[in-house]
Amino acid sequence: MNNPDDRPEAPGERRRSPEERRRVTQRAFLRPMGLFVIAIGSIFSALTMSWWVVGLTLATYAALVFLAVRDPLFWAHVLEGREYRVETRLVPSGDEEASPEQRVRRLPQGDTRRKVEHALELHRRTMVAIEESGDGARTVLADTSPKLRGVAGRLVDVAERREKVAKIIRDPENHAGSPHREDSDANPTGLENELRAADEAISRTVEKLSPLRSKVVRVSVESRGAAQEAAAMLNADLDEMKLRLDALRSNTPSSPEPPGQ
């Protein structure tokens, strides 16, 4: 049987933890399609007394598990809660289609990138917690996943713009004629204020994301009424984060808006 450790990793992809590999392997063994093959093979073998069917069934099941642990889409579905669709194999054609994880790897190495990477890891853990909660909790948290993805995208937007502003401050001569710097926004004080505001927003977002996984777990163990109230508060926190990041993004004219925003 293939081990997920042998799965080739894409360039720039972070190495998966043993816990993530264990979870993917477990889910591969429990895929409905594989269990369906086992059930059909067992019934057919029992009815016909054909023992060769047992071997064929086990070989088919093993092949399905092997393909699952080698499939990056299955990994994304299990670990990040992405919808398991063939269309996602298409290579993104621009930033509007690139995931926050892909975009953050384009940021310069530094404190901003480390903070955003940490925020995206908190985002991923929260998405996993939502996926692994019970059916009732997932129903209550139906609006949480898209809100969480929206916050992640907006956070990367702010980080990208923050790095552009920092580059202008470091080398103002090369950006003196930039069409995206107008009047007061071009003065050093205005740029420093933009930089400070972006840093504060990124740090605050990381702080707000830190307890979200625990809040999701709490929702999954509460009674329905209490779970709905806790989910509403969680969604309100996400709405506040997104509004703050949207306001900062709209007030930062260091680059044109990306398509589709």
Whether residue 121 is predicted with pLDDT greater than 80 in this model: the reply is yes
Does the pTM exceed 0.85?
no
Residues 240-257 pLDDT 10s? 888 888 887 665 444 433
Residue 114 has pLDDT above 90, yes or no: yes
Residue 96 reports pLDDT greater than 70: no
Distance CA 133, CA 129 (A): 6
- Phi/psi for 215 (5° steps) reads -65, -40
81: left (phi over 0), alpha (psi -120 to 50) or beta: left
What percent of the chain is predicted at pLDDT more than 90? 6
As a 3-state breakdown, the chain gives helix, strand, coil percent values, each rounded to 5, of 75, 0, 25
198 CB-near residues (< 8 Å, 6+ apart): 158, 159, 161, 162, 165, 248, 252
The DSSP element (H or E) to which 22 belongs, if any, is helix 18-29
